Amino acid sequence: MTLYYVSVGSKEYKVEISNDQYKIDGKSIQAALVELGERGLFMLKHGTLKRELHVQPQGNSQYVVNTSGKFALAKVEKSNGKVRTKAGKAAAGDLTAPISGLVVSVNAKTGDEVKEGDVMVVIESMKMQMLIKAPVAGTVTLVNVQPGAQLSKGDLLVKIS
């Protein structure tokens, strides 16, 4: 059995794979992921549901997944065998979505030096745009979104340390 932790936005899933058997958060799933001829293109089959996924590696165990024009950033970590606990309270440099919405632009890259008040992400909700600013000065250690991504309130956007 191989164990992975997959994070999408603020949600984390425990994925167990053993031969052709899959479990997500302990629940058995009858699904298959079939690689198609083109690089990064897959077909996800779950019962009668079939969905094309385009998966693009972004480095640092992160992948952009596009399905039906919707984008998500997924971080996949292989378990090291230790018991893992969920993250607690957000750190001072964690930028989270204050509302549900759509990412319009991302003005930060991993490794960027930023000042307090710099605009990191622009979110649109109900035809209004919101500027998400750096709460602290520091270095961007994680960019967890990309333009076009749908967000839920509380989703992690950017980490600054």
Domains of the chain plus CATH, in order, are 2-78 (3.30.700.30), 94-160 (2.40.50.100)
Q: Is the predicted pLDDT of residue 82 greater than 60, yes or no?
A: no
Q: Hey, which bits of the chain come out as E strands?
A: 2-8, 11-18, 21-24, 27-29, 31-35, 41-46, 49-59, 62-67, 70-78, 94-96, 101-106, 113-114, 119-125, 128-133, 138-143, 150-151, 156-160
* Least trusted range by pLDDT, from 19-23, 57-61, 83-87: 83-87
What is residue 14's predicted lDDT score, i.e. its pLDDT?
Answer: 85
Residue that wins the pLDDT comparison between 88 and 12 = 12
Question: What's the pLDDT tens digit per position in 118-154?
Answer: 999 999 888 888 888 888 899 999 998 888 888 888 8
Q: What is the pTM of this model?
A: 0.50
Instruction: Answer yes or no: is pLDDT of 114 > 50.
Output: yes
